[in-house]
Structure 1
Amino acid sequence: MAKTIVILGASYAGLTVTHKLLKNTLKNKKGEYKIVLVSPTTHHYWNLASVRAIVPGQMPDSKLFAPIRDHLAPHKDTITFLHGTATSLDPATKTVIITTSSGTATAQTYDILVITTGSRTKDPVPWKPSLDGYEATRDRLHKIQEQVNSAKSIVLGGAGPTGVEAAAELGFEFGKGKEITLITSSSQILLGTPPNVANFAENVLRKLHITILKDTRITSSQPLPPPSTQIELTLSSGAKMIVDLYLPTVGVLPNTDFVPKNLLNEDGDVVVDDYLRVKGVEGVWAAGDVVDIQPSQFVYMQKQAAALAKNLDLVINGKVPVLYKYDGAPMMAVALGRSRATGRFGNNRLPSLIVWFLKGRTLGTQNLQGLVTGSGA
């Protein structure tokens, strides 16, 4: 009987691992293994470009969304795509309960389990895919585009990479045409980066006519009574702001509600060892936004997904997995509109032109089709 590899999540990490297994590890093991790929969405969402996609007319849906199931057809004897969501996990019996898109709950056993379920936002903003599926993600994005188009004043809450990139995109497009404010509770934007990186980004934002409020928290946001469509923000200073659109960029949660609590840390991240195996259980692996070993950034996800696929290949072929090396210099790349960018490698600021060329120029959308087809695996 074929052994079963269940992969939960068909986003960046999940699709990378899936296609590497199909193209490499399992191509000469016909009938020995089968893959069950579980995803709450039928389409992959290239959310790295969401910061530019909120600007009407800048990013068509064809560059953001691509169907997943269609490109698995050549491997139909080896893989099954299951449109659903994991709702519970029992490592003792090696069983995952999957609630399908039709609402039916089914028990799926596994020999190997890969958790790559990603993360979600607390608020209805387009930075992450919706757990309600492709249509919900697409419609949420379109609604934000309409709101951006009609808004005269926009506030972004949080000045991490997403907040800074989104503010820069809005400033690049609209300049003085809209009042755009970036609010952070920290004393600098891009907290944790070297001062020269943060200062460079701040200077670019100010040139794009972005107002930056530091050491300020947004303590509440309330819609004004109808017929108004504006929002009242209360700041930590006690001041009030009335704005047309509020886009929070903080409050990201790992999609690990189905995982037993003893396998998670206090933030809800899956605790893994130096091989990307989930600690305390047999045959379970994890990568991407759900793991506890590195920040939730694309550059780290890529490395984790490749390392996990390699270790699965070794284990399936009866070999010993290798250590995942994650103690290198911290890295970050931040687009600053459609012509500038910044980034870090360790304590060094990366040149704007290089980061713009590698990331800011397209925000990686040229890689969407390669991800879903497996040609980039």
Structure 2
Amino acid sequence: MKQRILIAGFGDTGLLVAINLSKHYDILGVSPKPCLVSGQELGLRLTQPQAWKRDYLMPYERYRKLDGVRTVQGLISAINSDQSTVTITRADGTEMVEPYDALVIASGVTNGFWRDNSLADLATINNQIEAASQQLLAANSAAIIGGGATGVSVAANLAAQHPAKAVHFFYSQEQPLPGYHPRTRAQVTKHLENVGVHLHPQHRAKVESDFSGDRLTTEPVNWSSGQDDFQADITLWALGKVTPNNSFVPADMLNRDGFVKADEFLRVPGYNNIFTVGDIAATDPNRSSARNWGYRLLGHNIRASLQGKPDRMKPYSAPENRWGSIYGVQDPNLPDSGLRVFQPDGGSFRFPRWSVQSLLFPLAVRKMIYKGVRPSLDGETRQEH
């Protein structure tokens, strides 16, 4: 009988963990959604929702390496580490208790209106994506609050795709993208200027303590940094105010900020068969195991652990700076067309637009990283009942 790996959270990272372990293990993935709803590329999701859904809203059945993998739509309500079981509340309200040989906590974070831990069916997900896009695109002027990658992505894509709109981008430092290399920050600032974004550095918004940026607003923005109030038709809040999805995780597994503790091997300290990865894992200040091939290292370490060879486990090493795609794929008629990827050392390289759809996504992403994605799927997205 195959050993059982239970993955709590089946988003971008949990899915990749399953794909890389599915050949040799019995895997159960638990997700509040019936499909992959990626947290990536909010700018594209809002400005080109149909194109975004083609690559980032994906039924699990399309992934060939998930054939034979069970997925349950529901929420984990408890971990019993003594018995090596979890309790799952399914979408229909019923409970089930499932055993594991290894548990992976990859439940991610809630951030704004685009990343949450709520139970939702596919129709609701589609409606939410379309409604937010229509609300933003209907406005003649927009304020984007927050200088991280999400704010940059929205500001850059909105200004580039809709140059007639007045796009105002507010951030608290002199340049956006704290945590990125200075060269990346300078290059991105120049790009924002080139596509017509109105930049407002050193602005810090007044935010009510109970507001997490989970909706678009229309009221004037007030500034604790002393500037005059600002009024736009619509305001998007990309505050980086993330809430870890940790309601089921025992308190001794969490750090003071509510993220899951992780040792150098992506194990939860004190628990030899419980691992963590992704945005919820407190691996480093940037919690960067959601990127940097964290899923692949975790797969290696889980195999070593379950084979009784912990000495073969490898440590996770985080880069000093954040890196990756920031704008997403840009149309040929736009500045910096194609897909630009920024490196930890501040360098960058660009995939031409023609290569993205003909080579990068079908070969590098879908074939090499995801190990095979079916081109289409008939019928409804399957759920475990």
SS at match of 2:260: coil
The aligned residue for residue 375 of structure 1 is 372
The aligned residue for residue 176 of structure 2 is 189
1:350 to 344, 347, 350: 347
The aligned residue for residue 232 of structure 2 is 243
The share of aligned pairs that are identical, in percent, is 21
In structure 2, the CA distance between the partners of 1:260 and 1:350, relative to structure 1 (3 Å rule), is same
Query: C-alpha deviations, 1:200-254, integer Å up to 9, x for none?
Result: 21121112221122221121489xxxxxx83222222263222222111121222
Verify the 8 A CA contact 1:274 1:324 in the aligned structure 2. yes
SS at match of 1:15: helix
1:45, distance to aligned residue in structure 2 (A): 2.1
Pairing 1:216–2:203 present: yes
The aligned residue for residue 144 of structure 1 is 132
Pairing 1:335–2:326 present: yes
Name the CA distance, whole Å, in 2 between partners of 1:81 and 1:365: 25
Q: How many residue pairs are counted as aligned between the two chains?
A: 350
Task: Name the one with the larger strand percent.
Answer: 1
Name the CA distance, whole Å, in 1 between partners of 2:361 and 2:219: 33
Verify the 8 A CA contact 2:85 2:99 in the aligned structure 1. yes
Verify the 8 A CA contact 1:46 1:365 in the aligned structure 2. no
- 5+ residue gaps, structure 1, are 27-33, 223-228
The aligned residue for residue 94 of structure 1 is 84
Query: C-alpha deviations, 1:47-94, integer Å up to 9, x for none?
Result: 323321211466253333111146579743xx3221111122222232
1:80 to 45, 70, 82: 70
In structure 2, the CA distance between the partners of 1:81 and 1:69, relative to structure 1 (3 Å rule), is farther
Verify the 8 A CA contact 2:9 2:30 in the aligned structure 1. yes
Amino acid at match of 1:243: A
Name the CA distance, whole Å, in 1 between partners of 2:149 and 2:62: 33
- Spell out the pairing of 1:3-82 with structure 2 (5 A cutoff): 3-23=3-23, 25-26=24-25, 34-56=26-48, 59=51, 61-69=53-61, 71=63, 75-76=67-68, 79-82=69-72
TM-score, with normalisation over the residues of structure 2? 0.80
Q: CA RMSD in A?
A: 3.1
- Spell out the pairing of 1:102-121 with structure 2 (5 A cutoff): 102-121=92-111
Name the CA distance, whole Å, in 2 between partners of 1:266 and 1:3: 33
Pairing 1:165–2:153 present: yes
Name the CA distance, whole Å, in 1 between partners of 2:16 and 2:94: 28
Name the CA distance, whole Å, in 1 between partners of 2:70 and 2:341: 41
- 5+ residue gaps, structure 2, are 211-216, 374-385
Verify the 8 A CA contact 1:129 1:137 in the aligned structure 2. no
1:370, distance to aligned residue in structure 2 (A): 5.0
Query: C-alpha deviations, 1:331-372, integer Å up to 9, x for none?
Result: 4134347242462423xx214xx14559x967x765775599
Name the CA distance, whole Å, in 1 between partners of 2:309 and 2:350: 38
Amino acid at match of 1:244: D
TM-score, with normalisation over the residues of structure 1? 0.82
Verify the 8 A CA contact 1:13 1:116 in the aligned structure 2. yes
Amino acid at match of 2:143: V
SS at match of 1:185: coil
Query: C-alpha deviations, 1:91-146, integer Å up to 9, x for none?
Result: 2232212110111222222221111112221x32x2x3553335343322211110
Name the CA distance, whole Å, in 2 between partners of 1:67 and 1:241: 41
Verify the 8 A CA contact 2:30 2:72 in the aligned structure 1. yes
Verify the 8 A CA contact 2:108 2:280 in the aligned structure 1. yes
Verify the 8 A CA contact 1:181 1:210 in the aligned structure 2. yes
